[in-house]
Amino acid sequence: MSNPPTGAAAELELDVGRLRRERYAKLQAQMAADGLDALVLLHGPHVAYATDCLPVAADATHVSANRPVAVVLADQSQPCLLGGDPDGLDVDPHPAVWPDIDEGAADLGAQLDAILGKTARGGRIGIDLMTGAMRRTGVLSAADITDAANTMAAVKLHKTVDELACIHQAQVRTSAAMATVQEALVPGVRRSELAAVFLRRLREEGIDANMIDVIFQPMARRMADGPRTTTGHLAFPTWSGDPVYAEGDLIWVDAGSDYHGYASDFGRTWLVGRPPTPGEQRCFERWLAVMDASYEAIVPGATFAEVCTAATAADAAHQPHGERPWMPHFYLVHGVGIESAEMPFLGTDNGPDFDAANTLEPGMVLVLEPAIWDDGTGGYRSEEIVAVTEDGWIPLGGGHPYDPFEVPT
């Protein structure tokens, strides 16, 4: 049985210049492969990928109101950045636009026509999003438009060494903040108090981008006592107001924050004010067995299905109905990077054919999040992040203890 993996990733050192150069080269190569003359990007993480202008961790309405826009032209040595803060970036800066309002969208259209030149009239342009205002004002209406999603998905799938370093840093710092939060989890404390500690500690760890309203969800011990679901299974992670925690409560924790535009994903199971019961500890040990089997199966060339099969086999003795040891609305594994959940996805409702047709490759980042549930007792869920290498995997972040559960020796 395994302690949380630690080690190799400590050697990852972020080189911002190299991060920018390598991503931009990948983007140019993928545009050539996809036959694109230009990319016009409005989705924050995409803009960050192209320009290193980092997304703002604010409400969606604020982020979209005066969001920066990136334009990448084939064979140009640097991207154009409309708005945002170009200070210190290797970009061709242009004035800010407000793409959500009609006057701003018209400004954006004029700027795009000037930047793109004749590409705006008949060139092939990948775009990831248009606002209603851009549609109303006819932005790029004379261009041959295609979706940028596939181009961005292709470049994101395999991480560069600096992308791995960012994810590692995000995870290490999120974990450090969570260590303080767990100390504050005592009977009578409220969810808002834990959130307050977490948000302060994140900033003290040098992270100013909290990406999800942090989840400390008290789990009903029987699914029938929890929210109703479309799957007939667990409801997690839900909005849960501001509960007060009592001794013995089972808390599933989930958090994600950004370091230099790359997401962490912290998941743990905590208990309030007491050690686990034997039944709770057994759930944890089943979870460890699933993790061990998954780690074993993660090698380049393995199909997604092979990893899912190994994880399922490790818990089969406890699953009389053949259920898989993860929540049916989620997955055994999701990727993480500029998005908190991105390809690769293993064990989703894309189905067995999808899992059989896709294979692990070096540079993919995997967040393992199996979940064990024993209805009436409760369950165990944590998350660990690994990066696939040429000959196996290395942990990112890692080393955060499973307290108050004990890893058997």
Partner 1 sequence: MSLHLQRRARAVDALASAGIDLLVAGRQDHINYITGAHQLWTAGARPFGPVCTLNVATGEIFLLSTWDEGVPDDIDLDHLHGITWSGAIIYQRLAATPGIAAAQRVGIDAWSPGMAGLLSAVAPNAEIVPADDILLKARRTKLPSEVDAIRAACAVAAAAAAAALAHPGTDAQRLAAGVEAMALAGSSTPAAEPQVQGPIIDFSCIRSHYEGGLGRTANGAPPDARPHAALIAACVPGATGHDLRLAAPDGDWLIRGLGMGFEPPVINSRYGAHETLEANMVVSVSATTATEYARDTVLVTESTPEILSPEEP
Site for partner 1 in 29-48 (CB under 8 A): 43-45
Q: Are 385 and 271 in contact (CB under 8 A)?
A: no
383 binds partner 1 (CB under 8 A): no
Burial class of residue 320 in the structure, from the number of CB atoms within 10 Å of its CB (0-12 exposed, 13-18 middle, 19+ buried) = exposed
Joined together, the tokens standing for residue 317 give 């003795």
212 binds partner 1 (CB under 8 A): yes
* Residue among 246, 161, 172, 159 at smallest CA distance from 205: 172
Span 127-186, contacts to partner 1 by CB under 8 A: 127-136, 145-147, 149
227 binds partner 1 (CB under 8 A): yes
Least distance from C-beta 140 to partner 1, angstroms?
11
Least distance from C-beta 146 to partner 1, angstroms?
6
Evaluate the omega torsion of the peptide bond into residue 93 and state whether it is cis, within 30 degrees of 0.
no
407 binds partner 1 (CB under 8 A): no
Q: Are 2 and 395 in contact (CB under 8 A)?
A: no
Alpha helices in 254-303 (DSSP H): 278-297
Q: Which of 60, 87, 88, 183 binds partner 1 (CB under 8 A)?
A: 60
Q: Which of 103, 296, 375, 403 binds partner 1 (CB under 8 A)?
A: 103
337 binds partner 1 (CB under 8 A): no
Contact stretch for partner 1 (CB under 8 A) within 203-211, 283-291, 293-301, 370-378: 203-211
192 binds partner 1 (CB under 8 A): yes
Residue 318 vs residues 214, 283, 314, 327: alpha-carbon distances, Å: 31, 10, 9, 15
Least distance from C-beta 54 to partner 1, angstroms?
11
Nearer to partner 1, 82 or 394 (CB): 82
Span 111-130, contacts to partner 1 by CB under 8 A: 127-130
Across the beta sheet with 124-127, the strand order is 92-94, 80-82, 69-73, 38-41, 124-127, 144-147
Burial class of residue 239 in the structure, from the number of CB atoms within 10 Å of its CB (0-12 exposed, 13-18 middle, 19+ buried) = exposed
Q: Which of 193, 265, 355, 384 binds partner 1 (CB under 8 A)?
A: 193
Least distance from C-beta 187 to partner 1, angstroms?
18
Contact stretch for partner 1 (CB under 8 A) within 163-171, 325-333, 374-382, 398-406: 325-333
Q: Which of 24, 98, 259, 393 binds partner 1 (CB under 8 A)?
A: 98
Contact stretch for partner 1 (CB under 8 A) within 29-37, 75-83, 198-206, 291-299: 198-206
Q: 132: alpha, beta or left, given left = phi > 0 and alpha = psi -120 to 50?
A: alpha
